[in-house]
């Protein structure tokens, strides 16, 4: 039996408690305190979502393997509970529970750490009406990853509050996409007309590589200028081995990979979408297919009987 420290249901109920503190109207709290409780709840939701798959995903390895053994349920123990750091949790959640954003979640944690351990007098400079939509956008993904609903987390009385923030976040993303596309078109028009300001003209003459550098990429038409841009991704969502018969004696073995799109860039108008949410809102493909080397996915002991 898995130790309660790693149990996904125990983590879920603790996250509910902290969310309740963040939304409690009976004891009015300042935004800084509400945001603090919410940031703690977000980390717990990430742990719960990962632990539901396997407690080993949140246990921090130790030299004797005690934490991993306890988390796996192989042994019982009451040793010091240590889990992986927040950035590791969020990195794993981004890969496992799209479109969760490691960057947005990590910014919440950085603000919390600065507020708790530094000299910052406030949790964040972001206004509450802008901060809460970002928080709930990430929290909702982690709730859904556990096959639960926001109603389960906050209750029916508070559900309209979260739905309002989620709607606002969607609208904010749509506005940002529109802004980025229009700015890309404007920059390109200025460049072609020779009317770019001097500093921008210098930058345009010596462009930086706008791609993120992910392993997988494919050409994709730019929604701003129609030129060929680059859609990129880091990990394969699925893979399928295919056989291309050359003749009756020979065939090629092909590996078809489905890659979730994480980044888009266009060298022509300098448009960049750096999150899956922006990519999706712009109408670009959420995934793309590319070829891989099947030998990279062979079992380590393949051929070593």
pLDDT on residue 240: 84
Instruction: Note the pLDDT of residue 246.
Output: 63
d(CA 39, CA 149): 19
- Residue for token digits 């004696």? 249
140-144 contact pairs (CB < 8 A, 24+): 140/166, 141/93, 141/97, 141/98, 141/99, 141/100, 142/42, 142/45, 142/46, 142/48, 142/49, 142/93, 142/97, 142/100, 143/45, 144/97
Q: Which residue is listed with tokens 């994480």?
A: 262
Helices 102-117 + 128-144 axis angle, to 10: 120
pLDDT of residue 109: 94
Cis peptide before 99 (omega within 30 of 0): yes
With beta carbons less than 8 A apart as the criterion, state whether 20 and 41 touch: no
Q: Can you say whether the dihedral through the CA atoms of 91, 95, 101, 105 is positive or negative?
A: negative
Q: What are the pLDDT digits (tens) for 239-255?
A: 888 776 666 666 677 78
**pLDDT for position 91:** 93
State the Rg of the chain over Cα: 23
Enumerate residues 6+ apart whose C-beta is below 8 A from 199.
none
Residue 41 near residue 15, CB atoms below 8 Å: yes
pLDDT in tens, 139-192: 999 999 999 999 999 999 999 999 999 999 999 999 999 999 999 999 899 989
Nearest residue to 43 via CA among 134, 138, 137, 126? 138
Query: What pLDDT, on the 0 to 100 scale, is given for residue 305?
Result: 40
Residues of the chain with pLDDT under 70: 1-4, 27, 62-67, 71-74, 77-81, 244-251, 294-305
pLDDT of residue 281: 94
Task: State the pLDDT at residue 300.
Answer: 42
Separation of alpha carbons 192 and 185, rounded Å:
11
């Amino acid at each position: 039996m898995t130790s309660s420290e790693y149990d996904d249901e125990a983590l879920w109920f603790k996250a509910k408690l902290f969310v309740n503190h963040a939304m409690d109207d009976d004891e009015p709290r300042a935004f800084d305190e509400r945001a603090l409780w919410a940031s703690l709840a977000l980390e717990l939701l990430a742990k719960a979502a990962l632990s539901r798959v396997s407690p080993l995903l949140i246990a921090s390895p130790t030299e004797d393997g005690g934490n991993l053994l306890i988390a796996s349920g192989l042994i019982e123990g009451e040793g010091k509970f240590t889990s992986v750091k927040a950035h590791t949790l969020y990195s794993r959640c981004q890969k496992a529970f799209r479109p969760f954003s490691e960057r947005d979640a990590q910014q919440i944690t950085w603000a919390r750490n600065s507020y708790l351990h530094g000299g910052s007098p406030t949790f964040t400079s972001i206004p509450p009406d802008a901060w809460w939509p970002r928080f709930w956008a990430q929290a909702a993904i982690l709730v859904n990853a556990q096959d639960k609903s926001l109603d389960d987390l906050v209750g029916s009385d508070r559900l309209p509050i979260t739905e309002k923030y989620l709607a606002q976040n969607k609208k904010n993303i749509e506005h940002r996409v529109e802004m980025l596309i229009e700015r890309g078109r404007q920059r390109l028009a200025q460049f072609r007309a020779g009317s770019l300001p001097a500093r921008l003209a210098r930058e345009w003459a010596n462009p930086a590589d706008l791609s993120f550098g992910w392993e997988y990429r494919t050409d994709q038409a730019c929604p701003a200028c129609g030129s060929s841009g680059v859609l990129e991704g880091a990990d394969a969502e699925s893979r399928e081995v295919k056989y291309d018969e050359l003749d009756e004696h020979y065939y090629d073995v092909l590996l078809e990979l489905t890659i979730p799109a994480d980044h888009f860039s266009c060298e022509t108008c300098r448009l960049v979408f750096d999150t899956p949410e922006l990519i999706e809102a712009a109408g670009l493909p959420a995934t793309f297919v590319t070829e891989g080397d099947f030998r990279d996915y062979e079992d380590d002991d393949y051929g070593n009987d």
